[in-house]
Amino acid sequence: MANILIADDDKDIIRMLRFYLEKEGFQIYEAYDGNMAFMVLQNYGIDVALVDIMMPHMDGFDLIQKVRRTMDVPILVISAKVDLSDRIRGLDLGADDYILKPFEPLEVVAKVKARLRRLNAGQNCKTDGMVSSGGLCLNTGECCLIKNGAEIPLSKTEYLILKMFMESPGRVFTKEQIYSAGWNDDYAVDDNAIRVMISKLREKTGAGYIETIRGLGYRLVREERK
């Protein structure tokens, strides 16, 4: 049974999500402000956290930042803050997804279940020197991609970016995060260099693995492409 945290100062939203998630057999923990949410995350082995942004005492942005210093728990933001800058900020701080209010409860349930599947798959397929996702295998010792039994050489930048994608399949990475990972530069972002690198990685991984999320960035689709 997975443990799910719902952190929101709107108790009606918590009750609604609790109803749908408990029907799927999940154990639910509630928090009504950021401080309470962090305490729950520290003490109750949470598998997925649903986090609102506008909470008292510590808002969702600060909570995500604090959590990411010590924990890898998947975080799905559920927020009424619809501005693109807010969504990018949440993802950049380490959220795994950003769901806008008002939302369809069954969609939230589906996203929680998908995140748990990815988490379990990642735990099952990581071995010493290997990172695997959806039919792709990255040899971290030799810095090469293995697909259908064939070794595909990678440049240093290709390897660093693909490793970041494969270690967090399904997570959206902004251009800033991609540039920082591939070129080790936090201060300048070359959009053209990123487009070229994504194009090269798509050639090497095959069609359908690296997905463009319009206005946000890119992500690796975990499910194996046929």
pLDDT higher for 17 or 221? 17
Confidence of residue 68 (pLDDT cuts 50, 70, 90): confident
The mean pLDDT value for 201-218 works out to: 91
Give the pLDDT score at 225: 45
User: Are 42 and 149 contained in the same domain?
Assistant: no
Give the pLDDT score at 125: 43
Confidence of residue 199 (pLDDT cuts 50, 70, 90): very high
> What is the spatial distance between Cα 36 and Cα 98, in angstroms, rounded to a whole number?
21
User: Are 70 and 170 contained in the same domain?
Assistant: no
The mean pLDDT value for 11-39 works out to: 96
The alpha carbon dihedral of 99, 100, 101, 102 has a sign of negative
Confidence of residue 184 (pLDDT cuts 50, 70, 90): confident
Q: What is the DSSP letter of 44?
A: S
How many CB atoms within 10 Å of residue 58? 17
In this predicted structure, the answer to whether residue 28 has a pLDDT above a threshold of 80 is yes
User: Are 68 and 7 contained in the same domain?
Assistant: yes
Q: Quote the pTM value.
A: 0.62
Give the pLDDT score at 124: 45
Q: What is the pLDDT of residues 110-139, one digit of tens each?
A: 999 988 876 665 454 444 577 887 778 888
Total domain count, the chain: 2
Give the pLDDT score at 126: 44
Confidence of residue 223 (pLDDT cuts 50, 70, 90): low
Give the pLDDT score at 78: 95
Closest by Cα among 226, 110, 130 to 170: 110
Residue in the block written with tokens 């936090």? 186
Give the pLDDT score at 99: 92
Range of the domain at 136: 126-220
> Under 8 Å CB-to-CB from 22, ≥6 apart: which residues?
28
Q: What is the CATH number of the domain that holds 173?
A: 1.10.10.10
User: Are 100 and 173 contained in the same domain?
Assistant: no
> What is the spatial distance between Cα 114 and Cα 110, in angstroms, rounded to a whole number?
6
Angle at 173 between CA 194 and CA 135, to 5 degrees: 90
Closest by Cα among 66, 59, 42, 45 to 7: 59
User: Are 111 and 53 contained in the same domain?
Assistant: yes
The region of weakest confidence among 19-33, 58-72, 143-157 is 143-157
Confidence of residue 187 (pLDDT cuts 50, 70, 90): low
Q: Report if residue 104 sits inside a domain.
A: yes
User: Are 64 and 130 contained in the same domain?
Assistant: no
Q: Mean pLDDT over all residues of the chain?
A: 87
Are 8 and 103 within 8 A, CB to CB?
Answer: no
